[in-house]
Every structure is written in structure tokens, then in C-alpha cells.
Structure 1
Amino acid sequence: MFGRKREEPQIAPVPWDTEGPFVVGEVVRPAAVRQKGLSGRRAVRMSVTLDGVRYFAAAAFVEQRAPEVRSYELYDATRAQELLCTIAPVRGGGGSGERYAVRDQAGRELGLVFRTGAAKRTVQHGWWLRQPGHPDIVARYHWARGGAKQIAARGRDATVRGADGLVAGVVDSVIAGATAADSRSHVRPTKPVTWCAEDEVALTAGHTQGIKSYIPQASWLDRRLAFALAVLRQD
């Protein structure tokens, strides 16, 4: 019947350990021509297609008890009361920057998320990861040359020469790396950020429909650690 408002579809949650890219936010369906966007609870979300339309289904709900504290709880979206992990700042430890411990529902540490202070960054991005049993997971600036080990060595040299403290860190945003701006909009396309464990690609960040997205690529990388990085980078 003409004039009747079309009902919005119910987008079912997806398992949090499903392989593939994910995003963090409230967007269930981005706004399009003659169509309003659709929003929901803040969550780690994965792309699904329904009747030819792309949606972002919840995989893990994100809860922040105190807005002024960067501490979070992630819950399985298919089992809303089941805790997946917690993200909490770690105090002390020396050096500049921030550290966040990611722990499972039993309190076991899954790994750490670091943010290197801007004054201490050399050739690597500000956000980086450490997962027990694996090399540090870092991303370098797009202009840095050489392999990951060479980059780390340069960072150590730079620290000895002029910076006091932490060796190389990481960057906290997708780098604007295009060589020419769009003449009409003056918006530069962004280049993806790639985190590597030595010479193995572990995680990549880019954009999906204008939303920052992440693609875990190393089979050993705990997705909950990648979720934590994405949640922290969003705030």
C-alpha cells in the first residue's frame, strides 16, 4: 500500500570468531541516496548482505562503564551476557605512552595494546600490539624503507641519538598518503595501515563504505586483541 513505511530488517548477530574484516561502531547500515542510515548498539561488527544490501551485524557488544576511563568490556553478541574480554589501562612500567591489558573472561592475559607518545615515535605508528609467544606487532610509516627488522634497528639508533626512552612506536591513524588531492573536494584518499610481526603481516586497517575496517591476517592473532586495538583507536 502506498505511503506505508518499509519495515527495517532484523540483522542477526554473527559469531565473534568469524573470519573476515570487522568495524567498530553503531552503524548497521550507512546512509545512502534516498535512504537514512540505520544504527544500533556500539559493537564490533562484520559485513553481511541481505537482499542485495550491505549491513554491519554485531559480533561483540562494547560496554564502557565510565566514559572518562578508557576501560571496556566486550560481550559475545550471539550470547549477550557472555564476556569475551576486558580492556583496561596498565599503570606504571616506565617510559611514555599508554598500555592496555586485554584479558579473557577468566582473567588470563591475551596480550597488550600500546600507544607510544607522539614525542617518542620514530618510523613506526603509535598503536601496536604484543601477543605472548610472538614478535611485537607493529606498523611502520609508509615512507620507511627496508624490512621490519631494519626498521626496528633504525628506531633503536634514533632513540640512542636523541630520544630518551622507548624505541619505536606506532601511528594511531590511517595515514593520508595520496600524492595528489582531489581538485574539487580537496580530500586525500587514505592508505591502509599494516601491522607486522617481524616480516609477517598480522593485521591491516583500511576503509569499508567510509568506515574504518580491520582485517586480521595472521592465523595465530587473537581476534580479541585486534578488537581491543580497534576499540581504543576509535576513542
Structure 2
Amino acid sequence: MFGRKKQEPQIAPVPWDTQGPFVVGEVARPAAFRHKGLIGRRAVRMSVTLDGVRYFAAAAFVEQQDPAVRSYELHDATQAQGLLCTIVPVSGGGERYQVRDQAERQLGLVLRTPPAKRTVQHGWWLRQPGHPDIVARYHWARGSAKEIAARGKDATVRGAGGLAASIVDSVLHGESAADNRSYARPAKPVTWRADGEVVLTAGHTQGLKSYTPQAAWLDRRLAFALAVLGQD
């Protein structure tokens, strides 16, 4: 019948260990020319195509009991919300979060880079038992981390600390320090490596920040935890 509103499709959840990129958020379908946006529960989501339209199906629901506390549970979207892992802050050694599976076995840590190193290194990194640290350095960093940190310290002493901060901000937002134009360009891709091996990459899919695990040995739940923490 003419004028009847088209019913939205049922977007079935996908297995959390499905290979490929994922996003974190409530967007099940981004707003587009022919379609309005579709919102669902906050979840780790993966791209699916229905009738030629891209959707982001839930793989793991993200639960946070207290918005003031950065502690989370991830539940399998395909199995009556069975617990996949917990993400809880741990004390000592700076800001870090322990990721455990449903049996309380430790999967690894998500760590926050100290402010002094964020001119060189991405704000979040991973530590998975049995493997080297998984770290992302900015593409424009030259020399060793120690050398760049020393240069940043010297600049601060000379009163140029604001410049260093602006460079970091511009990298995070995909703009050069000399670019004063009002529009924003896409953020630069980010690559996490372990001893030179590419482990995890981040970019954008339909305007949403997406993450793609690359190393077969990386536990996807650790990547999920990094994405959840990096979003808040």
C-alpha cells in the first residue's frame, strides 16, 4: 500500500570471533543519502550487507554498570549474552586495565600511554602474555623514542610546549600543524606493532572509527577492550 512505512530489517548478530574489521558504538546503520541512521545498543559491531545496504551488526554488547567507573563487561551477542570478558582498572604502574575471560583467566592488559610519551606513541597500547608489547608510534616520529622525548622536553623548557601539544592534537584529528583551515580531514591510520610485526590497525569505515586485527595470535577481546577504552 502506498504511504506505508518500510519496515527496518532484522540485523542478526554475528560471532565475535569473525575475522575482519570492527567498530564500537550504537550505530547499526550510518545516515546516508537514501537512509536515515539506525541506532541500537552499544556494542562491538561488524559490517554486514543486506539488500545492498551496509549495516553494523552486534558481535559483543558493551555493559558499564557505573558511568563514572571505567569498568566494562562484554557479552556475546549470539549466545544469550554470555560473558566474553571483563575490563577492569588495576592499580600501580600508571593507568592500566586488566582483561579477563569468563573463567577469570587473564587475557592481557590495555595500558594508557603517559602524557610525556604521547608526542611519540599512541595513547593506548596492549600487552598480551607470551608476546612483545603491542605499541603504535606516530607516523611522523623520527629517531628513537628516547631522542624524540628529549626533543619534546627541550621544546617545553624553551616555552614551546603548546606547539608540541598542538602537533599531537593535529595528528589525532588528521590535520597538519600549519593547517588553519576550518574543515577537518580524515584522521591518519594507526598501526600497532610488536617487534616490527603489524598486529592491529585502525582507520575509518563510513565515518566510524574501525579496528582490524592483523596478527593471528592477537586475542580479539584485547582489541575490543582497547577500542572500548579509546572511545570513552
1:213 to 186, 210, 217: 210
Which position in structure 1 is the counterpart of 2:89?
A: 89
- Correspondence 1:114 to 2:111: yes
Equivalent residue letter for 1:84: L
Q: Which secondary structure does the structure 2 equivalent of 1:5 belong to?
A: coil
Superposed CA deviations along residues 67-90 of structure 1, whole A, max 9, x for unmatched, are 100000001000133100000000
Contact 2:191 2:198 in 1 (8 A): yes
Contact 1:181 1:188 in 2 (8 A): no
Once residues 32 and 90 of structure 2 are traced to their aligned partners in structure 1, the CA distance between those partners, rounded to angstroms, is: 41
- Correspondence 1:229 to 2:229: no
- Correspondence 1:186 to 2:163: no
Q: What does 1:1-235 correspond to in 2, within 5 Å?
A: 1-93=1-93, 97-145=94-142, 151-152=144-145, 154=147, 175-177=172-174, 186-235=183-232
Where does structure 2 lack aligned partners over 5 or more consecutive residues?
156-167
Equivalent residue letter for 2:49: T
- Please, what TM-score do these two structures have when normalized by structure 2? 0.86
Q: Which secondary structure does the structure 2 equivalent of 1:60 belong to?
A: strand
Once residues 173 and 198 of structure 1 are traced to their aligned partners in structure 2, the CA distance between those partners, rounded to angstroms, is: 27
Superposed CA deviations along residues 91-139 of structure 1, whole A, max 9, x for unmatched, are 123xxx4100000001011000000231343521121000000000000
- Please, what TM-score do these two structures have when normalized by structure 1? 0.84
Contact 2:173 2:184 in 1 (8 A): no
Equivalent residue letter for 1:219: A
Equivalent residue letter for 1:33: F
Contact 1:125 1:140 in 2 (8 A): yes
Alpha-carbon spacing, 1:173–1:14, altered in 2? closer, same or farther (3 Å): farther
Going by fraction, where is helix more abundant, 1 or 2? 2
Q: Which secondary structure does the structure 1 equivalent of 2:225 belong to?
A: helix
Contact 1:175 1:193 in 2 (8 A): no
Once residues 79 and 71 of structure 1 are traced to their aligned partners in structure 2, the CA distance between those partners, rounded to angstroms, is: 22
Equivalent residue letter for 1:187: A
Once residues 170 and 101 of structure 2 are traced to their aligned partners in structure 1, the CA distance between those partners, rounded to angstroms, is: 27
Work out the number of aligned pairs and report it.
220
Q: What is the deviation of 1:175? A: 2.6
